Amino acid sequence: MKKSRVPGSSNQMERDFVFQFGAGGQQCVLKVPLQFPVQDNIRDLHGLLDMLLHKIPCFVEEELKRSLTNFVETNAILDYEREADLALTRLTAGDLDLHSLTSSWAKAYAETSLEHARPEEASWDEDFAAVYHELIHSPASETLLNLEHNYSVSISELIGERDMEMKKLQERQAAEMSSVMQELGTTLSDHDVNTVASQHFEAQQVLENRWASELKHMSEIQKKEYQEWVIKLHQDLHRSSNSSKISEEIMMQPSQLEQSDPGTRLYEEQPLLEESFTIHLGAQLKTMHNLRLVRADPLDFCKHRRHGSAGAKLRRLQTALSLYSASLGGLVLLVDNRVNSFSGIKRDFATVAVDCTDFHFPRVEEQLEAVQQAALYARAQRREHPGENTTSGL
């Protein structure tokens, strides 16, 4: 066995793995240099030596694997013992600070040992999830849905005001640009037209940013108020000394489903084409599967309608009942590989998502930003470690 220090490294060693076997009356010798400590899996390393590099006969595969495993484990133990001897030598020679070393050991043991681990404290989101799951399966479920709907109506009205102001600005800018174009070549030049267009664009950006900030602020206030009310209601129900007061509190949020306002933003609900099937599989022990095929715009299932039908309310209730459970449901949208919401159905989905406050998940922009950061981190890890599988990091 040959041992040599790898150039440019103080911790890696190169050793020759030697394997002898007989084939066809001849004695063959396999000699391969290995880097220690070995970074690859033993099974992968065995397959690489066996199949790709040296084409070793199949009848010695198991013997080669046992010999390789024993060689790697033996030399790894020798390396550990050598490092331990060097550490003890430095310790007895006084090269190490005994106090800092013992403190590091105690800290490492306390952080990795279960008996010294601190109990995990439940976060606000975990508490709210448990409380909401309990209340949505109680007589307060309709009140929760009505309160969510009332908050959605407030957001919808605010968005309607934004759209109206944006429309007035665009009409005023269109009239101004038309007047400028009529005077082009006489009293105004191309530079003047470009200046007016730039001013129009800046005015639109300022207005859009102002409304976006106002919508975000209102959504944050609604989410905080809603979660605090849910927690308070749960606490009152557990301290139910006055059942009549609790009943009044549960019924204090009337629904605005039946109210109508001709100036509000309404989504046009397209008729659904659907058909249901029942499939039985198996000869003796039959299993039954119910399938429902629907032809519709996928975003119709995401829109929160102010004047929805009874079926829409039932779908919301079904989603709420299974929200914090093991039987989750979701909608899969086919999009391109760019993590943004600037075009296509991604933009339509982002527009629908801001039409009402999400009381359970982060905003769409925050979720997309988290995905972008995870993708950038995974890409950096692949560049630093090209030979390793870093898919789990994403």
Q: Can you give the pLDDT at residue 200?
A: 93
Does 135 reside within a domain? yes
Does 144 reside within a domain? yes
Q: Can you give the pLDDT at residue 4?
A: 43
Q: Can you give the pLDDT at residue 165?
A: 93
Q: Can you give the pLDDT at residue 260?
A: 43
Q: Can you give the pLDDT at residue 171?
A: 93
Same structural domain, 57 and 200: no
Same structural domain, 150 and 16: no
> Residue 56: CB partners within 8 Å, gap ≥ 6?
21, 30, 49, 50, 64
Q: Can you give the pLDDT at residue 145?
A: 86
Q: Can you give the pLDDT at residue 33?
A: 77
Q: Can you give the pLDDT at residue 261?
A: 47
Domain count, the chain: 2
Examine the fold and report which residue of 115, 136, 155 is the final residue of a domain before the chain moves on: 115
135-153: pLDDT as tens digits: 888 888 888 888 888 888 8
pTM attached to this predicted model? 0.58
Range of the domain at 106: 3-115
Q: Can you give the pLDDT at residue 3?
A: 45
Same structural domain, 260 and 132: yes
Same structural domain, 242 and 338: yes
Q: Can you give the pLDDT at residue 363?
A: 87
Same structural domain, 55 and 134: no
Low-confidence residues in the chain, pLDDT < 50? 1-10, 255-267, 390-394
Here the tokens at position 328 are 């989750």
Does 53 reside within a domain? yes
β-pair partners for 27: 22
Same structural domain, 84 and 179: no
Same structural domain, 103 and 140: no
Other beta carbons within 10 Å of 250: 19
Does 370 reside within a domain? no
Please report, for residues 18, 28, 52, 60, the alpha-carbon distance to residue 23 in angstroms, rounded to integers and kept in the order given. 16, 7, 19, 9
C-beta separation of 281 from 289 below 8 A: yes
148-177: pLDDT as tens digits: 888 888 888 898 899 999 999 999 999 999
> Residue 281: CB partners within 8 Å, gap ≥ 6?
287, 288, 289
Same structural domain, 140 and 95: no
> Residue 293: CB partners within 8 Å, gap ≥ 6?
274, 275, 276, 277
Same structural domain, 244 and 206: yes
